[in-house]
Amino acid sequence: MRWTIQAKPITEKVTHLEQSLGVNSTIASLLVQRGIETYDEAKAFFRPELSKLHDPFLMKDMEKAVARIEKAIANQENILVYGDYDVDGTTSVALLSSYLLSYYPNVATYIPDRYGEGYGISFKGIDFAEDNDFSLIVALDCGIKAIEKVEYASKKGIDFVICDHHRPGPEIPEAIAVLDPKREDCEYPFKELCGCGVGFKLIQALSEKRGLEIEDLLIYLDLVATAIGADIVPITGENRILAYHGLTVINTLPRPGFKAILNQVKKNILTITDVVFIIAPRINAAGRMKHGNHAVTLLSEMDINLAETYAAEIETYNLDRREADKSITIEALAQIKNNKEKDRFTTVVYDEKWHKGVIGIVASRLTETYYRPTLVFTKSGDRLAASARSVKGFDVYNALEQCSEFIEQFGGHKYAAGLTLLEKDYEGFKAQFEKVVKETIDPKLLTPELKINTQLNLSEITPKFFRILKQFAPFGPGNMSPVFMSQDVKDIGYGKCVGEDDKHLKLTVNQYGEGKISGIGFNLGDKIELIKNKQPFKIAYSIDENHWNNTVSLQMKVKDLKE
């Protein structure tokens, strides 16, 4: 790993914050690094307020979207809430459908089948709407590139309202309204909402017209917080406010669907990280292994007994997903080794038998192993489908745009995308993708970077210090958990490898003979030699709580060790 220690902030700014907040220089420095320089900015950071959310009508086409939904309700039209099959899509559908159903009955939901229809709006979904007398489709977390589909629906007398957050293509669909903060002609102040976040802005606008307060929408924020965590959007600005309050809902009054999941894993207080690793994979598993409808049903259910039944079904899908993910990752790694793929700037692998539902997870695993822009392909009908993942700092979406001559369809973000192409174009695409990445990537991006906020003496790690640090949460992109570095640290003799195949490193360290603290380094078992014989080393870590035998102690989550 490349260790990069962030530049020290300007001393005057740190001193000012230290004095106005009554905190130590390390805390003040961490805040200034996050762009927080005044008492008021610190207050907004530590106490995010719903009242600070932007006016939803600042989003382009919001007036049109609200007017069309209000017209549908006035005319007793049937409304179809349509969303993608991943976490962002299914939470969005559960959010908008349950909100509308709270005061209007003619609402149904539709999630496309991952295998029969693929990503986004489908002709089959529009035909379903026509066959069942729906005259309005509200699409969430998809639709920004659905030019032909919207036109097809229009010819059948079906209107579209699109709520998306993906990058638009050169043309915007001719829907009644297209809500997407990433539209170039949209002046909405916050550009990084997830799909469920855009859906929330829609219900916020609808609620304002109905004379409701923002507090009346608190019950929906558990869904928004889950989508924010799962979709890896920056937890800054509005996302921080929504995630903060959403986590409070999850931890105090979770909807029955979440409660049923949490009962299975015996977890009480959740962080965003827990949402990402406990709730999100289970919601995703429905769409990956069976059908996204199962996730919407679970998330919308108000009866805890039924929710328990649905959660048990989804847990089965999740176990199947784990098995598939594990076996395909082993096969993909073998393919890379056999084909000498590891000498390339990219990783592109393909097997027609691989389960389409888990290729995104496998792409992430391969990126962790070889740390290069990665694509995992499988057969999907008469096409090949792929999931792309990137390394930090490299825009894989832009790279795919430069390979568009070989691609039928693609969409996504800077770090994650999906695409389809014809089998005959696979080798051409693979060669072009390697060429584009080789010519445009900064080679240093192929070594993972560990960003360190500041140096710390172990004696500074106190319960009071950690209490303030905890209030920096929720953590995520744009507001990562602080990473510290300490030098001249020694293991006091308890260091050992633990876990399956001795993969992990457990140690207890002090510095200059004081400040004793234990730590766990996942996948750092191979660093055991560095800590033997009480030799000094430097350590990079974040600080966490360890709950064991009804006692709580501070511990290091070790990121890396060096001589």
Indicate whether 281 and 374 sit together in one domain: no
Of 4, 31, 5, 3, nearest to 16 by C-alpha is: 31
Look at residue 430 in the predicted model and tell me its pLDDT.
96
Question: CATH number for the domain including 350?
Answer: 3.10.310.30
The range of the structural domain enclosing residue 127 comes to 56-313
Residue 307 contacts residue 320 (beta carbons within 8 Å)? no
Indicate whether 108 and 229 sit together in one domain: yes
- What's the one-letter identity of residue 379? K
Residue 117 has pLDDT above 70, yes or no: yes
Instruction: Tell me which of 397, 422, 446 is where a domain ends.
Output: 446
Indicate whether 193 and 113 sit together in one domain: yes
- Identify the weakest region by mean pLDDT among 100-114, 154-168, 434-448, 491-505: 491-505
Residues 6 or more apart from 251 whose CB is under 8 A from it?
268, 269, 270
Mean residue pLDDT of the chain comes to: 94
Residue 557 has pLDDT above 80, yes or no: yes
Binned at pLDDT 50, 70 and 90, residue 289 comes out as confident
Average pLDDT over residues 451-455: 96
Instruction: Tell me which of 393, 420, 446 is where a domain ends.
Output: 446
Look at residue 265 in the predicted model and tell me its pLDDT.
84
Indicate whether 100 and 15 sit together in one domain: no
User: What residue spans of 355-416 are helical by DSSP H?
Assistant: 359-370, 396-401
Indicate whether 367 and 461 sit together in one domain: no
Residue range 23-49, pLDDT digits in tens: 999 999 999 999 999 999 999 999 999
Q: Flag whether 555 is in a domain.
A: yes
Indicate whether 271 and 410 sit together in one domain: no
Residue 527 has pLDDT above 80, yes or no: yes
Task: Enumerate the β-bridge partners of residue 78.
Answer: 134
Average pLDDT over residues 344-354: 95
Residue range 131-166, pLDDT digits in tens: 999 999 999 999 999 999 999 999 999 999 999 999
Percent of the chain at pLDDT above 70? 99
Binned at pLDDT 50, 70 and 90, residue 468 comes out as very high
Look at residue 341 in the predicted model and tell me its pLDDT.
63
Of 535, 418, 428, 524, nearest to 166 by C-alpha is: 418
CA–CA separation, 228 and 192 (whole Å): 10
Indicate whether 240 and 347 sit together in one domain: no
Indicate whether 423 and 489 sit together in one domain: no
CA–CA separation, 428 and 405 (whole Å): 9
Q: Flag whether 249 is in a domain.
A: yes
Residue 20 has pLDDT above 90, yes or no: yes
Instruction: Tell me which of 415, 446, 477 is where a domain ends.
Output: 446
Q: What is the DSSP letter of 479?
A: B
Indicate whether 91 and 23 sit together in one domain: no
What's this model's pTM, rounded to 2 decimal places? Answer: 0.90
Q: Flag whether 330 is in a domain.
A: no
- What's the one-letter identity of residue 215? E
Question: CATH number for the domain including 249?
Answer: 3.90.1640.30
Indicate whether 462 and 440 sit together in one domain: no
Q: Flag whether 111 is in a domain.
A: yes
User: What residue spans of 402-529 are helical by DSSP H?
Assistant: 426-440, 463-470
Residue range 58-90, pLDDT digits in tens: 999 999 999 999 999 999 999 999 999 999 999
Look at residue 420 in the predicted model and tell me its pLDDT.
94
Of 386, 393, 367, 465, nearest to 425 by C-alpha is: 386
Binned at pLDDT 50, 70 and 90, residue 342 comes out as low
Residue range 235-247, pLDDT digits in tens: 999 999 999 999 9
Residue range 528-541, pLDDT digits in tens: 999 988 899 999 99
Helices 293-300 and 87-101 pack at an angle, to 10 degrees, of: 50
Q: How many domains does the chain have?
A: 3
- State the number of CA atoms in the 13 A half-sphere of 552 facing the CB: 6
Q: Flag whether 326 is in a domain.
A: no
User: 3-class SS at 46?
Assistant: helix
Residue range 408-428, pLDDT digits in tens: 988 888 889 999 999 999 999
Task: Enumerate the β-bridge partners of residue 380.
Answer: 383
Strands (E), 330-382: 347-350, 374-380
* Exposed / middle / buried, residue 47 (Cβ in 10 Å: 0-12, 13-18, 19+): exposed
Question: CATH number for the domain including 19?
Answer: 2.40.50.460
Indicate whether 171 and 286 sit together in one domain: yes
Look at residue 24 in the predicted model and tell me its pLDDT.
93
Q: Flag whether 83 is in a domain.
A: yes
Q: Flag whether 318 is in a domain.
A: no
Indicate whether 195 and 246 sit together in one domain: yes
Q: Flag whether 201 is in a domain.
A: yes
Average pLDDT over residues 298-303: 95
